[in-house]
Structures are given as C-alpha cells and as structure tokens.
Amino acid sequence: MEGTLSAFLDRKDGRPLWAHSPEGTLPHMREGAMRLAVAADMEDVPAMCRELSEILLCISVLDHLCGFNFDVQASGMEAKIRRRMMPEEGSGDRFGSWKAGKVKEKGIVPSPDAISCELPSLMRLVKVFRQYPPRPCSLANFSESLRCGHFETAILFLSAWAFQEKMDPEHALRMTNDKFFRRLSAVEDALFKRGKSLGDSSLDEMMGLWRASKGQEHPHVFKQKNGHRFNEAGFPGFLGLSKLAEDLADPAKGDAWTLSQTPLSIALHAVEEGFEATDAYERGDMPLFDEELGDMIMQVVFMAENCLRRGFFGMREILEYSPAPTADHEAFGIFSGLPEGCSAIARSIRLQEVAVSHGFEWRDVAAVQDKVDEEILELEAEMAQGNTFLAQRELGDLMFAALKLARWQGGFDENSILSGLKEIL
C-alpha cells in the first residue's frame, strides 16, 4: 500500500495542528504553493516533490474536513478540461484556450474591481494588466514616485514596468523574501554557535556574518533521474485526469500550450488557485470551493507530468514522499510564528519588522536610499545584458529595498496600491 493514493489519502492520524480546520489548512496550502514556485525557480527538484506532496495532502485534509470526494474532484476537472479543449483534437493547441474558457466559465467581469477581489495586490495587478495592458512605464516613474514619498504608487509603476518586461512582481519579491529568510537564519545559527543571539550582538558583528552568508541562501540542488506515473485503477477519476495530462504533454501529438509550460509557470498557477480556493471558502460558496480544490489537483497532476518528462519525478514519487507529520518549516528561531499564506508584500514587511526587533537595522534613512539606488543600477545592468532570469531576482531585491524605505518614512499600505490604477491604464 505504501506509495499508493489509498495510503496517501489515509494520512489522517497524527495530523499537525494546521490540519484540524479549513482555516488552518488553507494558509498552509497557499504557502506550500508559494514555496513550490521558489523551488521551481531554483530547480530544487527534491523541494518541488516535497511541496507537491504537501499540497496534495492539504487538499486531502480539506476534502476530509468538508465532506468532498477527491476522486470526484479529479473526474470533474478532467470533464471540465475536455469541455474547454477548443479547437478539437488535431489542431495542435487543444488546451490553449484554457484561460479564456476559465474566465468565461467563472463569469469574471473584465473590470479591475471585479478582478481584484481575491488575490494579493501584486497578483491582482498582473491579472488586471493581462486584460488592460498598462501604458508604457519606466524605472524613472518608479524613482520619481519614491522621491515624492508616494510608495504605493512607486510599487504600482514598478509592477507595471515588470509586467511589460515579462516578469512577475509577486514571485520576484517572494524570491527575495526567501533569500532574506535563509540568510538571516544563517546569521542566527552562526551566532548561536558562538553562544549569542541577534538581540545581544552588535550590528557590525551581524553585518559581518550577513556578508559571509552570501551564497548560502540556496539549498543544495540535485536531480533524480527517474519517475513513475500514476496507474491505480481504483481511482478512475484521478487516473483519467493523469492520462489526460500525459496526452496533452505528448511531444508528438500533444497540446502546444501545455508543452510550453515549465515547472515554474505551473507553480505560479497553483499559487493563484490557492488564493481563489480561499476566497471561495471565505465567501461560504462550498460548491465553488469544491471546484477550486479540483483546480489545485489539476496543477499537481500537470506539474507531475511536466517533471516526469524532464526526468525528475512522477506522481508515484509525490505520493511516496513522507514528510514528518509535525513538520513546520519555520518552527524555530526568530521567524517562528510568521503567518502562512500571506502576500509577498505582507511577508516582506513582517520579515523586516522581525529583523528590526532583534537589532538588525540600517543606521539611517540615507543608507536605505543608497541601497535602493544600488538595486536600481543592478537591475538596469541585468536588463542591459538581456538576462531576464537574473533581472527578476534584482526586481525582487529592489521591491524589498523600496519597502524598507517606506518603513523608514511612514509605512506602506498594500491595500491602496490599486487605487492608482487609472494613472497607468
């Protein structure tokens, strides 16, 4: 039974505290999707397998708590995909109309207010920009808004510029958050070995360890060259969805849009689906919540197939992954208790507040402004070299620095970012 879907879905004993209510499980699922995107960007294959297993476990727990049926959800997703597969087989792009079909089927009204109801602000912006392309923006617009102290408008301009350059601001900032978390945790560990803590160490000592931690923020990466598909006849719905994903990803006769996807692009879709599922639950729309969990199952299945074709792992390896039942990725250290599943901006602000409360702070606002200027130059340098991948990392660093500057000069209101949309649409 080990490694089967039956055994996986039966993991209900010894559940961690987050798994005893939808309110605890949904943030954990969202955070898992966000960690999945970070792992995909870093090509950390073991972490991708771990997070996919964790997301699937969250879906299983939510089904158990809400009385849903996992296999029926998977079957419903297969049927929904087939309804949307336009044009018919043989065109080479049977699945390419998925997004258009989703908008039509869910009844999303094409207006910024209707689109912006369920996602973090930066993800809302990208969703608005897809239907209402912003007017041309530049880093100069961002810098000018910062100089005037209009920090929310500055982030709006920077997000619009990033969208034009085919970068994702939410993911970029999340990458920087993850890097900051890892590096400051490395500083805390180094001080602990010296019998100290962040609170009783000098800023110079902490900064020395911070500089030494550069390059340690990424986990060890390796790739396992094997994988197996799901083949259990006892779950016809899940098996049907898995076989559909296999057909659509077939290089010879599959779907062009599906073949163009990467682990990162699928992971970013999973992040969005996680917030949409939460929105449905919080509004009390249980039929829609049931459907949204099916959407999450679809993301796991399609990413498993994508990873299998890259020689990483397949669905069986995801089901076989056995995380500790009480695993908590941030259970210890100064970052214990950070809320799960929040937006990248909210997490940035909270990470900085925690660091400052332990004495890890810039000496004055001029130094913060210098850091912002430095990040702008680094971003421009990567763009000039045409290196979009590294530019996206620098974009996250710049947003993180801009939020520092906002904190020094009065704070930042994430909810007001969209209020300036008329300026750029």
Specify whether the CB–CB gap between 396 and 172 falls below 8 A.
Answer: yes
325 near 14, Cβ under 8 Å? yes
Same-domain check for residues 203 and 244: no
Average pLDDT over every residue of 377-383: 95
Q: Which pLDDT does position 142 carry in this prediction?
A: 95
Contact 176, 393 (CB under 8 A): yes
Q: pLDDT tens across 22-39, in order? A: 998 998 899 899 889 888
Q: How would you class 343 by CB atoms within 10 Å of its CB: exposed for 0-12, middle for 13-18, buried for 19 or more? A: buried
- The rounded radius of gyration (Å) of the Cα atoms in the chain is 22
With respect to residue 325, please indicate whether it lies within any of the assigned structural domains: no
Residue 127 in any domain: the answer is no
Domain co-membership, 208 together with 342: yes
Same domain for 14 and 84?
A: yes
Q: Which of 5-9, 35-39, 300-304, 338-342 has the highest mean pLDDT?
A: 300-304
314 and 172, same domain (yes or no): no
| Residues 204 and 340 reside in one and the same domain | yes
| Residue 110 CB neighbour total at 10 angstroms | 10
pTM, 2 dp:
0.70
In a domain, 85, yes or no: yes
Same domain, 215 and 240: no
Q: What is the pLDDT of residue 110?
A: 36
Clarify whether residues 404 and 360 are in a common domain: yes
Task: Let me know if residue 153 belongs to a domain.
Answer: yes
Q: Which of 261, 293, 320 is the last residue of a domain?
A: 320
Judgement on whether residues 144 and 87 belong to the same structural domain of the protein:
no
Domain count, the chain: 2
Q: Using pLDDT thresholds of 50, 70 and 90, give the confidence band for residue 320.
A: confident
Residues 294 and 350 in one domain: no
Same domain, 193 and 258: no
Q: Where a domain ends, among 320, 349, 381?
A: 320
Measure the CA–CA gap between 275 and 30, rounded to whole angstroms: 7
311 and 346 inside one domain: no
Residue ending a domain, among 320, 350, 381, is 320
Residue 130 inside a domain? The answer is: no
The verdict on 265 and 392 lying in the same domain is no
**pLDDT reading at 220 higher than 80:** no
Whether residue 232 has pLDDT greater than 60: yes
Tokens of 293: 């969990």
Can you tell me the distance from the alpha carbon of 404 to that of 206, in angstroms, rounded to the nearest whole number? Answer: 18
Contact assessment for residue 190 and residue 414, using Cβ atoms and an 8 Å cutoff: no
Domain that holds residue 249: 5-110+229-320
- Examine residue 24 and state whether it is found in any structural domain, yes or no: yes
Question: Dihedral sign, CA of 80, 85, 89, 92?
Answer: negative
- 95-123 pLDDT per residue, tens: 554 444 444 444 433 344 444 445 678 88
How sure is the predictor about 162, in pLDDT bands with cuts at 50, 70 and 90? very high
Average pLDDT over residues 87-100: 50
In a domain, 331, yes or no: no
Q: Would residue 185 count as lying in a domain?
A: yes
Name the least confident of 76-90, 210-224, 281-295, 374-388: 210-224
